Amino acid sequence: MTKAEGILHALGGSDNLKSLEPCITRLRVVVNDPEKVNESGLRESGAFGVVLQGQVVQVVVGPEADDLGEAISELTNE
């Protein structure tokens, strides 16, 4: 499983994503159901930190945020 696949899975899968935006060192994600987000799974997939605020999840991934955002977007469009 790639890092992007692991993060997508830990976010609850592509059906749980409303929007995803890379922002410098983090992925800013709006989810449909915050209960489906697996914080420990995100960390296991390589996230340095996770901030949950309602339906907004910020996944701190470092300087690869743009590349991961693109890879996750490609996975959700399959």
Q: How many residues does the chain have?
A: 78
Do 17 and 31 contact (CB within 8 A), yes or no? yes
User: Of 13, 19, 21, 23, which one is the catalytic site residue?
Assistant: 23
47 among known catalytic residues: no
- Residue closest to 47 by CA, chosen among 29, 30, 71, 26: 26
Catalytic residues: 23
